[in-house]
A and B are shown apart, each in its own frame.
Chain A
């Protein structure tokens, strides 16, 4: 690994702390981000010669602060705005920043930074793009590639999101315990969105989007390191690790979806599964269950099965029932139906999803599951109708191709059990 790679990793690791600290000092996301950007450029110039500093984040904060002060002064000359009103604590800025931020501070700093990126009124796609740009420091080009949109469109999306955030009131006081819990929940949801954006998209472009999953895992670990006693953050991290571990087996060489039960389990990432299972074990000891822990436990039961036949479907069904109670949602019931069909048979599962037809009439996965259950019951004609509907609703070419494969099986009179992929 070259020195430059090492510097990239060091910068990526230090970035959230640096942006978060400068956000607190200057109370402007734009200013903080630009300052860290400039500091990173300077790091790329000086670190190869001088060697990396002992504390990369402190270095970035120090250099970034000076950059931001320069910027504020320059703008101060252009506009009659006194610098004192922009800076939160001028004296502190003037003293050389040798002293590092204490841990208590930086924990809330980073949480605030993440929280600022996910105001509830900001559409999910904008939250993700903003977090990837500001917190993770991905380039607009990289994010555009991951979202499969043009660079110009992504630039615009991020600019719009930043404008919305700039207008919103940024909470700078140290949060109370309930406020902190609320922020944690919002941030966890945002991290999960980042992951799903990378995970759900399937097809030939999947390798382009894997970095989103990796970034989400990195953010989840960061959050867990800051809040090591939160079982739901353990659950979230475990869930992401366990799902990402299956990535190498989810698509075949041609980019087609491979069903969970047809996946080559030797391709699953063993160390990632082990870490996910260890985190679930640790989370459960707290006896404060939550939706992420339950979802992680479901993924854990799949991961533990050495072959599809060894899957603990009854356990998975029970966990889905718990999840249904925690977060009633037709999508969860639909997922449960797949496990339920393995325990109680396709007829019972079909009865379970029948009442969801109205709510899920635009959902690809609903018709995929319905078709597969009907197929198992040898109700070919109805299965065909469901599969046709699924194809019409498919989001990606790989999803449509997967359903077509089911249709081919149907036409060939095969009765192979084939639930839709997860």
Chain B
């Protein structure tokens, strides 16, 4: 069975870490990740850019409404995600609109990825 582990933390706090503190946390995490990788249990690892870099496409109506900022509603739940490789935010939004036409309602929050380690699971 594949599982996703979604990471939540106070962004205010994490953005207040000094570079040394941030590096120290990443180094500690790397130790755990390496162990998992050796066991063939580690899939992709992603660190997202801060929510200030986020854009949201609300897809309750065609062609959707683009709102700067993260998805802030609590009525909906996180049900899945995609990782796409694009040259611009416009391109990502086009993809998101395509997906939205296939599955209207709800929203897509688009967040640039700061760090991606592909990984592989057995």
Task: List the interface of chain A (C-beta within 8 A of B).
Answer: 1, 5-6, 9-10, 12-14, 56, 214, 218, 221-222, 224-225, 228-229, 234, 237, 271, 274-275, 278-279, 281-282, 285-286
Write out the residue numbers on chain A whose beta carbons fall within 8 Å of the beta carbon of B114: 271, 274-275
Whole-angstrom CA separation of A286 from B68 in the bound complex: 9
Name B52's closest neighbour in chain A (CB-CB). A224
Distance between Cα atoms of A152 and B54 in the complex (Å)? 43
Beta-carbon nearest neighbor of B17 in chain A? A9
Q: Given A10-B13, A285-B66, are A274 and B49 neighbors across the interface (CB < 8 Å)?
A: yes
User: 7 closest A-B pairs (Cβ-Cβ)?
Assistant: A228-B69, A13-B12, A278-B112, A9-B16, A224-B52, A229-B68, A12-B16
Known contacts A218-B16, A282-B55; is-contact A275 B69 (Cβ 8 Å)? no
In the bound assembly, the distance between CA atoms of A53 and B69 in angstroms comes to 27
Closest Cβ of chain A to B54, distance in Å, is: 8
Residues of A contacting B49 with CB < 8 Å?
Answer: 274-275, 278
Q: List residues of chain B with CB within 8 A of the CB of A275.
A: 49-50, 53, 112, 114
Contact with A along B8-23 (1 / 0, CB 8 A): 0011111111100100
Are B21 and A281 in touch, CB under 8 angstroms? no
B115: A residues at CB distance < 8 A: 271
Residues of B within 8 A of A13 (CB): 10, 12-13, 15-16
Is B39 close to A, CB under 8 A?
A: no
Complex alpha-carbon distance, A237 and B69, angstroms = 14
What residue in chain B is nearest A221 (Cβ atoms)?
A: B52
Residues of B within 8 A of A1 (CB): 17, 21, 24-25
Q: How many residues of B contact A (CB 8 A)?
A: 30
Interface string of B41-66 (1 = CB under 8 A from A): 00000000111111100000000001
Q: Which of B60-80 touch A at CB < 8 Å?
A: 66-70
Q: How far, in whole Å, are A275 and B112 apart by their CA atoms in the complex?
A: 8
Complex CA gap A9/B11 in Å reads 11
- List 28 A–B pairs whose Cβ atoms lie within 8 Å, in order of A's numbering: A1-B25, A6-B13, A9-B17, A10-B10, A12-B16, A56-B10, A214-B18, A221-B15, A221-B52, A224-B52, A225-B11, A228-B52, A228-B68, A228-B70, A234-B52, A271-B114, A271-B115, A274-B112, A275-B49, A275-B50, A275-B53, A278-B49, A278-B89, A281-B88, A282-B53, A282-B55, A285-B55, A285-B66
* Residues of B near any A CB (own CB < 8 A): 10-18, 21, 24-25, 49-55, 66-70, 88-90, 112, 114-115
Cβ B67 vs Cβ A229 within 8 A = yes
List, in ascending order, chain B residues with CB within 8 A of A229's CB: 67-69
Interface centre among B50, B68, B90, B115, by most chain A C-beta atoms within 10 angstroms, is B68
Given contacts A5-B21, A278-B89, A282-B89, contact A237 B52 (CB under 8 A): yes
Known: A5-B21, A274-B114, A285-B89. 13 other contacts (CB 8 A): A9-B13, A9-B14, A9-B17, A218-B16, A221-B50, A234-B68, A271-B114, A275-B53, A275-B112, A278-B89, A279-B52, A282-B55, A285-B55
Contacts of B15 in A (CB 8 A): 13, 218, 221
Report the Cα distance A237→B51, complex, angstroms: 13
Select from chain A the residue with minimum beta-carbon distance to B25: A1
Residues of A contacting B89 with CB < 8 Å? 278, 281-282, 285
Instruction: Tell me the bound Cα distance from A275 to B67 in angstroms.
Output: 18
Instruction: Output the least CB separation between B115 and chain A (Å).
Output: 7
CB-CB nearest in chain A for B19: A214
Closest to B92 in A: A281
The answer to whether B12 and A14 have CB atoms under 8 Å apart is yes
CA distance A155 to B91 in the complex (A): 52
Residue of A nearest to B115 (CB): A271
Report the minimum CB–CB distance from A110 to chain B (whole Å). Answer: 11
Give complex CA distance A197, B109 in Å.
Answer: 36
Chain A residues with CB under 8 A of B21: 1, 5, 9
